[in-house]
């Protein structure tokens, strides 16, 4: 797909974030997920759809590539441009990340790309144009990996140094084209950074935390680089299905999506849904809310740290 993303005439640009769809083989739970995605797209009519990882649960898929095609079908048939990054479960079994990226690239409405020469599959940046055609905002997509590649380090993977260097170079390039000023930006990836735990512990957060932050055991410095570059206003992840909070740390809002898929774990009284993000041209900041599976909106208006289960 070659058409550019653009702000609407009213100066806004809306993104719907689906995360942890965990599609398997088209079971009843998958069809509930499909219905939820249709509802959200009908109610929100976004300008861009973003899948932030664990689109399929490959270990439980008969054919992960077929499952991925089924999982993104609702987005593709909507006619709305969409983008995606991978999580730790997408290529856990029977398939590689490279093979799954090839499946994504089959779709005309998919904007995902591959940047060769750096770690992972599906690191890329998209820009949103203003009325004059100039880039007015940037959207970064990064492959946060799956599991630690180091035998002495357990747990999940992390965004690697070469990816961070790539991001910084792209940020500088866009700033240079913007008269030297950082271009307002968002970042999307799957596994939360260690700073997601820090923001909960040290800042006022909005939304709920029903499980621990499953970040990597190593901090590779991506958050520090984003602060130094001065462009990213917010990051959006998934991975922890029953967390949906956000909080601000050093000028960056760290946000979870709301888990979308039914074919995976959840929590009673914590309905599936999607996060919605709305940018306004010329404004450094964004609005965000949750659209839930009954069609209702949760604006997350009040701090909710006291109710956490940690």
The predicted pLDDT at position 78 comes to 97
Q: Where are the domains of the chain?
A: 5-307
Q: Per residue in 172-201, pLDDT tens?
A: 999 999 999 999 999 999 999 999 999 999
- The answer to whether residue 2 scores a pLDDT higher than 90 is no
Among 219, 78, 87, which Cα is nearest to 153's? 219
**pLDDT band with cut points at 50, 70 and 90 for residue 310:** very low
pLDDT band at 137 (very low <50, low <70, confident <90, very high): very high
Confidence of residue 40 (pLDDT cuts 50, 70, 90): very high
pLDDT at 307 over 90: no
Q: In what order do the strands lie in the sheet with 252-256?
A: 5-6, 124-129, 135-141, 185-188, 232-237, 252-256, 246-249, 205-206
Position 1 pLDDT exceeds 60: no
pLDDT for position 303: 79
H-helix or E-strand spanning residue 15: strand 12-18
d(CA 52, CA 107): 17
Q: Distance (Å, rounded) from C-alpha 207 to C-alpha 211?
A: 13
Q: Provide φ and ψ at 13, rounded to 5°.
A: -145, 125
Residue 308 confidence (pLDDT): 45
Task: Summarize pLDDT for 90-110 with one digit per residue, the tens.
Answer: 999 999 999 999 999 999 999
Q: What is the pLDDT of residue 306?
A: 42
CB 285 within 8 A of CB 80: no
Report which of 197, 190, 188, 250 is spatially closest to residue 224, judged by C-alpha positions: 250
Q: What are the pLDDT digits (tens) for 16-28?
A: 999 999 999 999 9
pLDDT exceeding 90 applies to what percent of the chain? 95
Domain covering 5-307, topology: Purple Acid Phosphatase; chain A, domain 2 (3.60.21)
Question: How many whole angstroms separate alpha carbon 283 and alpha carbon 130?
Answer: 12
pLDDT exceeds cutoff 90 at 232? yes
pTM over 0.95: yes
Output the pLDDT for position 127: 98
Q: What is the largest CA-CA distance in the chain?
A: 53
């Amino acid at each position: 797909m070659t058409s550019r993303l653009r702000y609407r005439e009213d100066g806004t640009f809306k993104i719907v974030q689906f995360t942890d769809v965990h599609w398997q083989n088209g079971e009843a739970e998958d069809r509930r997920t499909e219905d939820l995605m249709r509802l959200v797209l009908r109610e929100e009519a976004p300008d861009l759809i973003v899948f932030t990882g664990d689109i399929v649960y490959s270990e439980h898929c008969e054919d992960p590539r077929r499952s991925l095609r089924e999982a993104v079908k609702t987005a593709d048939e909507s006619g709305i441009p969409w983008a995606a990054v991978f999580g730790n479960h997408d290529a856990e079994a029977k398939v590689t990340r490279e093979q799954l990226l090839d499946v994504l690239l089959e779709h005309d409405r998919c904007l995902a790309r591959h940047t060769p020469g750096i770690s992972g599959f599906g690191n890329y940046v998209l820009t949103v144009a203003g009325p004059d055609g100039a880039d007015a905002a940037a959207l970064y997509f990064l492959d946060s990996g799956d599991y630690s590649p180091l035998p002495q380090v357990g747990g999940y993977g992390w965004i690697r140094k070469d990816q961070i260097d790539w991001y910084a170079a792209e940020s500088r390039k866009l700033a240079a084209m913007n008269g030297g000023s950082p271009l307002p930006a968002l970042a999307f990836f799957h596994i939360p950074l260690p700073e997601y735990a820090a923001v909960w512990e040290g800042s006022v957060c909005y939304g709920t935390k029903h499980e621990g932050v499953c970040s990597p055991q190593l901090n590779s410095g991506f958050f520090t680089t984003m602060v130094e570059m001065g462009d990213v206003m917010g990051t959006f992840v998934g991975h922890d299905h029953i967390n949906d909070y956000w909080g601000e740390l050093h000028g960056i809002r760290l946000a979870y999506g709301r888990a979308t898929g039914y074919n995976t774990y959840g929590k009673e009284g914590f309905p599936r849904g999607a996060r919605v993000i709305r940018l306004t041209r010329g404004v450094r900041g964004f609005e965000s809310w949750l659209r839930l599976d009954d069609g209702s909106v949760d604006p997350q208006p009040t701090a909710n740290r006291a109710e956490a289960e940690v």
